[in-house]
Amino acid sequence: MAWFVLVLSGALEAVWATALGRSQGLHRLVPTVVFVVALTASMLGLGYAMRTLPVGTAYAVWVGIGASLTVGWAMLSGAEPVSAVRLLLVLGIVACVVGLKLVH
């Protein structure tokens, strides 16, 4: 259950990071509300997962999932450029997250 919650919390990290970017310094209401709700849920989930999983592993997986999804969404939406090198590097992050799960 902790791994499921951790993956969901990592996905919520991507949501709050994207919402923060769209909030224009917390000046736009809807993205700011999405940011606060997603941030709160993400942190609660990370805290829950850390009750069972090692802190370093949980945090690395949470950040890796959040960062990968954030940059993936930015590339899909056209906010960031797509290149083979960028895709390869993001896949490297994903591979590291999977590796941490496999060696746990």
Pairwise CA distance, residues 51 & 88, whole Å: 33
Q: Please report the pLDDT score of residue 101 as a whole number.
A: 87
Domain coordinates in residue numbering, the chain: 2-103
Q: List alpha helices for the chain, DSSP H.
A: 2-22, 29-49, 55-77, 84-103
Residue 104 has pLDDT above 80, yes or no: no
Pairwise CA distance, residues 26 & 96, whole Å: 33
Pairwise CA distance, residues 61 & 104, whole Å: 11
Q: How many CB atoms lie within 10 A of CB 100?
A: 17
| pLDDT digit string, tens, across residues 32-57 | 999 999 999 999 999 999 999 999 99
Single-letter amino acid code for the residue at 75:
M
**pTM for the full predicted model:** 0.91
